[in-house]
Amino acid sequence: MKSNAFMFALVADQVSSRLGPDRVPLALAALSPTAMALPFERTAGDELQGLCNEPAAVTTAVSQLTRLGDWRIGIGVGPVASPLPDSTRAARGPAYVAARTAIERARRSPVQLALALTEHVSAADYPELTDATTDAETALWLWRSTLSRRSTEGWELMDLLDQGLTKADAAAQLGISPSAVSQRLGRAAAVEDARGAALATRLLARVQELGGTVQP
């Protein structure tokens, strides 16, 4: 039995895995707090796979993988067979097929990320949906490009602020001046990050909404 509701299947592949250590355990630990329909698992070698129902979970996962570095990401959008199994490795449906298409396209992407619709959705039949998908992918590209330039120090500061610390408290904990915190925030592109994440999330939600118009 298949659900018509569109979901997001994510596949992440470690870049140049033969030249470095296995980073899958670290990625799984970083992704574990993300609210997933089916949590990320190692599916083959250096590959991860998970299933999201919420657009915000997609952007959270992209942020975490971008922070870790050296992860290629494919996001497939489409229906998933229901009821959902206990494991993403056992899940089936067009969203997973689209994720495979996306991870291959990600190899040619400027930021190693691609978003793909289920294959039975054509631009001729669903122009608004395909345009929305291109818009969402573009937003993800621009946002990920910004995040990929953030330094370790920038991520450290953002972690403290995300925990609710004020700039003054963060400065004290890091042993730097408040003005240095402001400078570090600028270099970390904090404002651009927040707006980029919000934009990408909204556009993914639009894709999911329009997906409800697709005839099975």
Let me know: does 13 contact 47? Beta carbons within 8 Å. yes
For residues 42-54, average pLDDT: 94
> How is the beta sheet containing 38-44 ordered, strand by strand?
38-44, 47-52, 7-14, 71-78, 113-117
- Distance, in Å, from the CA atom of 75 to the CA atom of 148, rounded to the nearest integer, reads 18
Structural domains in the chain plus CATH codes: 7-150+189-211 (3.30.70)
- Distance, in Å, from the CA atom of 39 to the CA atom of 45, rounded to the nearest integer, reads 17
DSSP strand pairing (113-117 vs 71-78): parallel
* pLDDT score at 17: 65
pLDDT category at 212 given cuts 50, 70, 90 is confident
Q: Is the pLDDT of residue 47 over 50?
A: yes
Query: Would you give the DSSP letter of residue 120?
Result: T
Query: Would you give the DSSP letter of residue 70?
Result: S
Query: Would you give the DSSP letter of residue 11?
Result: E
* pLDDT score at 106: 97
Mean pLDDT of the chain: 94
Pick the residue with more confidence: 150 or 213? Answer: 150
* pLDDT score at 1: 46
* pLDDT score at 202: 98
* pLDDT score at 16: 75
For residues 192-198, average pLDDT: 97
pLDDT in tens, 76-133: 999 999 999 999 999 999 999 999 999 999 999 999 999 999 988 989 999 999 999 9
DSSP-assigned beta bridge partners for residue 73: 12, 113
N-to-C CA span, the chain = 12
Q: What percent of the chain has pLDDT over 90?
A: 88
Radius of gyration of the chain (CA): 18
pTM: 0.93
114, containing H or E segment: strand 113-117
Let me know: does 144 contact 113? Beta carbons within 8 Å. yes
Which residues, at least 6 apart from 7, have a Cβ–Cβ distance to it below 8 Å?
37, 51, 52, 53, 77, 78, 79, 80, 93, 95, 208
* pLDDT score at 3: 64
